[in-house]
Structure 1
Amino acid sequence: MASISQHSPAGARRVDVAILGGGLAGLTLALQLRQQSPDLSITVLERHTHPVREAAHKVGESTVEIGAHYLANVLGLREHLDSEQIRKFGFRFFFSEGSDRVDRCTELGVSQILPTPSWQIDRGRFENFLGERARAAGIAFNDGAVVRTLDLDDGEGDHGVTYEHEGETRQIACRWLVDASGRAGLLKRKLDLAQPNAHDANAAWWRVDGIVDPNAWSEDAQWLQRCTPPDRWRSTNHMCGPGYWFWLIPLSSGAHSLGIVCDAKMHPLETMNTHDKAMDWLRRHQPQVAASLDRSQHTLQDFLFLRHFSHGCKQVFSERRWALTGESGVFLDPFYSPGTDFIAIANTYICDLVAKDAAGAAFAPYASLYQQLFFSFYENTLTLYQDQYALFGDAQVMPVKVIWDYTYYWSLLSPLFFAGRMTDVAMLGRLRPAFEAARALNLAMQPMLREWGRRNEGHDGPAARLLDQFRIDWFHDMNRALHDTLDDDGFAARIAANVDRMRWLAAEVLQHARRRHPDIDDQGLGALLSGDSPAPASLHAVWYADAA
């Protein structure tokens, strides 16, 4: 590591990296830094005292492919995930607005588990484990530490942190300072980095004792046997309606996490900002779920709400040796569970910047480049959510959107991360045309789907059906292929083939939208496709079943 500057407060303890916040983002960063550089001196300052409470601690329990791969394989935590957390049975969506018979609604999900694993994570249990692991790795993890002041050096001098711990005021000097303090945003507030975005959504969530099993909602043997094994409860279950979705996520400590996420205009937060109001809201919109939760065994553990949870950030990586990760930087939306993904990406970039500095290399140009890449990933992912909540109750269009969104995710960002190529500048340059082509397709597809849904308003959805993602061969194969090891040419060819798949899928979706609404505004999608034909039998016609 480059030597620590002597321009530090007298008496301050010197470290290479100080991390403000010992939650998921901060502790995983500390472990990744330790794994990368065993001699690095790392201090983590966490406000909460450990061990934290299991179950009722933090939301953000569901992982998807990038975040799960980061935890299991990059950080080597697979054994804990398999033994102490719950293997997820994929995402599952029920288009069940107002229904007291969920087994008579359209269901979207997998009948069998896809090859790439992900987990439902009890954040309290997991963060306690991460804290123990950090200490065992020689990381100074100070829980119960309250940061009081931050002093940033604009040159080569150390940054300074003053904090209170165990009744004493203490100081540390650090070469690198990382804000992982979540919505407290210690460094973000000091530097006025907060930046709003145009995604206006709110959330209310709570945890209850006991597991909520969707299979208990039906006695229909055929419906119960759709999944192998019949473990719908292990899925992240989404109960969907116009302008909202409701999550059900099981926790390994024996509790269930529940939450309403909604468009602020369509479902005001004031209708759900207490547990009683939230249950009344649920009785109107998801009566079968509410009836299940009204049972005495589901005792309330906690209740919280958050207004306008989505936010951006003006800067996340600096040539002045500071950075932000986790919710202190950007946060998109809990739908598709991208939070851990963006922790994984930010932490990977921060580790590379610290490593370059340690080697005496010029890291400042990379801070700028990585920030451009990180913000492009954030902005492209934001398009999946912004102004799209009105679609969430549409059992015709929303399943198509989910397939499209996942195809986009597995085509570019996921293989890039799985292959360990997030910092491969040469490959990123080579792939730039493919990324730009995919981005253009998505930027046209999202408003076209929105227009399709708008034209469907006032029509009933299709009859009850299972839309089984597992039986879409190419979709299943894209998930499996994330683990393939390829050389440079093979990897570039894979990305090109993935973008071709996006084009075929876009052509098919547009074709079906035009069948239903011949004069639909395709938002420029047709021009991008330039006469491309859809791949034969890419999706079964049932995915596009016309509204009545």
Structure 2
Amino acid sequence: MHDAADTRTTGPRDHHADVAILGGGLAGLTLAMQLRQRHPDLAVTVIERRAHPVREAAHKVGESSVEIGAHYFAHTLGLREHLETEQIRKFGFRFFFSEGADKVDRCTELGVSQLMPTPSWQIDRGRFENHLGERARALGVRFDDDAVVRGLDIADDDGDHAVRIEQAGETHTVTCRWLVDASGRAGLVKRKLDLAMANDHNANAVWWRVDGIVDPNSWSQDAHWLQRCDPPDRWRSTNHMCGPGYWFWLIPLSSGAHSLGIVCDADMHPLDTMNTHAKAMDWLRTHQPQVAASLDSTEHTLQDFLFLRHFSYGVKQVFSRNRWALTGEAGLFLDPFYSPGSDFIAISNTYICDLIEKERAGTDIGPYAELYQQLYFSFYENTLTLYQDQYPLFGDEQVMPVKVIWDYTYYWALLAPLFFAERLTDLATLGRLRPAFNEARALNLALQPLLREWGARNTARGRAPASRLLDQFHIGWFREMNSALNDTLDTEAFVARIADNVARMRWLAAEILGRARQDHADIDDHGLDALLADTTDVPVSLGANWYADAA
């Protein structure tokens, strides 16, 4: 066992670890903490390329957390106090359908007027990772920062893995029982084993940070608009400025900077139109002129700029019976819309902890590694459907708000409750839930193309913006789903809750199909009629205002 005094090394030396983690960013440090909290006798070494402490407002994506990731940080890892005092409580997602608008307060706005019951936070990654490094070392993790991995030997039998490291101009070797790749897009194990795999989500992103907080309330002098939210703190939201084929994010950081980024369909908005800061600002002046005018202020000095082409990807394997695993962006990456990155870190880290625990107890982990990987890939594939081929409708102020409600409902109905209830590895309960998960998946696979077709037909018809707030907080059942994530339920009640959630999805799907047919009587049902054949007594889920023609 390492004691805290051993964890800050002054130079290279060979040693053995039970678990060696390549990468001391968000995924690697949270995994190290989770392992040591569960098993204080476990020797864990983290190998990080950057020197710590890192600068605040670190140039990384993943600053906006949602319910699973936020719960993982606050509850599983016990970081609630840091999040409450050193980060920013998030005011939910907020969407402005503001393509070409010079008056954002005259557009459709989607968001909450009050905080939802289950919290999430905007995370300054530099500040957070510095805190994680300190906490990991205090827990007895050996954290070798400013260290470069020069070679990997991955055992294909019961032998140890080996990692060759250069640090302070010298080299040493770490042998380990378990090897976990948390090296981000460097993907050290993925490259070594040729595990990279493309997906069909063709999107690019550029992002940068500026000094100072960008406050959407400064864009209006309309007293009614300013007071729509209580408190009137739109700046604390993850603000999405939406248009056909793209969205632009604004995320506040507790260090006093603001994170900004354009994410777009690669065919509709080519990367070469925005791959420098000057080009990105010109692009904003065309598509989001009021935002661009705000950012042109001298108080918002540029800090950095980066772009990524084809940022989304899958992977062939993440967990192995040979005691290696991938987590975070070293494995796969979806899309920053809905901020699922920390969710998938939480899920993969939980599976890795369970596999390590089982292997230490002498269990044959082969079947578990295969099953956990199947589950993890199913979560990835189902979530990818929310983004793939859907960017063209992002500017539709009628269909996109309905899609957001559907996507949230899908998330809060199944995956989020499973994580909150700590049942990701409860195979008996997962077996009982398989029919519900299959039904929900089928509903979603039919709903996404319906929404896509609805949006495409609206584009042909033409629409005009309207000054309105579509307030998610005042959808009673929606707010209750968010609150219910925190309920403690026995197995029978939990299974019943999931069944009720899928029933809600079925009712909502029936309502959405009916509303789409009111707009376009000949729209394809995409298989929904068959799935909804037994649905009766459909309650009013959203209300007419959510479907109202804004023209």
Any residues of structure 2 matched to 1:360-379 within 5 Å, and which?
360-379=362-381
Residues 1:471 and 2:486 are matched in the alignment? no
Residues of 2 paired with 1:534 and 1:463: CA distance?
32
Q: Report the counterpart of residue 4 of structure 2 in structure 1.
A: none
- CA drift of 1:463 comes to 2.0
Residues 1:198 and 2:200 are matched in the alignment? yes
Residues 1:530 and 2:538 are matched in the alignment? no
Matched letter for residue 164 of structure 1: E
Q: Report the counterpart of residue 265 of structure 1 in structure 2.
A: 267
Any residues of structure 2 matched to 1:62-73 within 5 Å, and which?
62-73=64-75
Residues of 2 paired with 1:482 and 1:206: CA distance?
34
Confirm or deny: 8 A CA contact 1:507 1:533 kept in the other structure: no
Q: Report the counterpart of residue 84 of structure 1 in structure 2.
A: 86
CA deviation profile, 1:181-214 (whole Å, cap 9, x unmatched): 0000000000000000000000000000000000
Q: Report the counterpart of residue 52 of structure 1 in structure 2.
A: 54
Residues of 1 paired with 2:534 and 2:20: CA distance?
55
Residues 1:250 and 2:252 are matched in the alignment? yes
Confirm or deny: 8 A CA contact 1:202 1:307 kept in the other structure: yes
- Kindly report structure 1 stretches of 4+ aligned residues shifted beyond 4 Å: none
Q: Report the counterpart of residue 7 of structure 1 in structure 2.
A: none
- CA drift of 1:278 comes to 0.1
Residues 1:496 and 2:516 are matched in the alignment? no
Residues 1:111 and 2:113 are matched in the alignment? yes
Q: CA RMSD in A?
A: 1.0
Matched-pair identity in % = 77
Confirm or deny: 8 A CA contact 1:56 1:301 kept in the other structure: no
Matched letter for residue 498 of structure 2: I
Q: Report the counterpart of residue 123 of structure 2 in structure 1.
A: 121
The TM-score with structure 2 as length reference comes to: 0.97
Residues of 2 paired with 1:456 and 1:385: CA distance?
19
User: What secondary structure, in the 3-state scheme, does the structure 2 residue paired with 1:535 have?
Assistant: coil
User: What secondary structure, in the 3-state scheme, does the structure 2 residue paired with 1:416 have?
Assistant: helix
> Which region of structure 1 is more displaced relative to structure 2, 451-460 or 423-432?
451-460
Residues 1:282 and 2:284 are matched in the alignment? yes
> Which region of structure 1 is more displaced relative to structure 2, 130-139 or 330-339?
130-139
- CA drift of 1:166 comes to 1.7
Residues of 1 paired with 2:332 and 2:525: CA distance?
31
Any residues of structure 2 matched to 1:290-439 within 5 Å, and which?
290-439=292-441
Q: Report the counterpart of residue 485 of structure 1 in structure 2.
A: 488
Residues of 2 paired with 1:194 and 1:547: CA distance?
44
User: What secondary structure, in the 3-state scheme, does the structure 1 residue paired with 2:224 have?
Assistant: helix
Confirm or deny: 8 A CA contact 1:88 1:120 kept in the other structure: yes
Residues of 1 paired with 2:464 and 2:507: CA distance?
26
- CA drift of 1:522 comes to 1.2
User: What secondary structure, in the 3-state scheme, does the structure 2 residue paired with 1:16 have?
Assistant: strand
Q: Report the counterpart of residue 519 of structure 2 in structure 1.
A: 516
Residue ranges of structure 1 left out of the alignment (5+ in a row): 2-10
Residues 1:542 and 2:538 are matched in the alignment? no
The TM-score with structure 1 as length reference comes to: 0.97
Confirm or deny: 8 A CA contact 1:235 1:249 kept in the other structure: yes
Q: Report the counterpart of residue 170 of structure 2 in structure 1.
A: 168
Q: Find 1:506's aligned residue among 504, 509, 517.
A: 509
Q: Find 2:63's aligned residue among 58, 61, 64.
A: 61
Residues of 2 paired with 1:56 and 1:289: CA distance?
23
Q: Find 1:185's aligned residue among 184, 187, 196.
A: 187
- CA drift of 1:153 comes to 1.0
Confirm or deny: 8 A CA contact 1:53 1:124 kept in the other structure: yes
Q: Report the counterpart of residue 6 of structure 1 in structure 2.
A: none
Residues 1:237 and 2:239 are matched in the alignment? yes
Confirm or deny: 8 A CA contact 2:507 2:539 kept in the other structure: no
CA deviation profile, 1:28-82 (whole Å, cap 9, x unmatched): 0000000111100000000001111111431210000000000000000000000
Residues of 2 paired with 1:537 and 1:442: CA distance?
19
User: What secondary structure, in the 3-state scheme, does the structure 2 residue paired with 1:423 have?
Assistant: coil
Report how many aligned residue pairs link the two structures: 539
Confirm or deny: 8 A CA contact 2:147 2:167 kept in the other structure: yes
Residue ranges of structure 2 left out of the alignment (5+ in a row): 2-12
User: What secondary structure, in the 3-state scheme, does the structure 2 residue paired with 1:351 have?
Assistant: helix
User: What secondary structure, in the 3-state scheme, does the structure 1 residue paired with 2:232 have?
Assistant: coil
- CA drift of 1:533 comes to 4.1
Matched letter for residue 475 of structure 1: F
User: What secondary structure, in the 3-state scheme, does the structure 2 residue paired with 1:226 have?
Assistant: coil
Q: Report the counterpart of residue 21 of structure 1 in structure 2.
A: 23
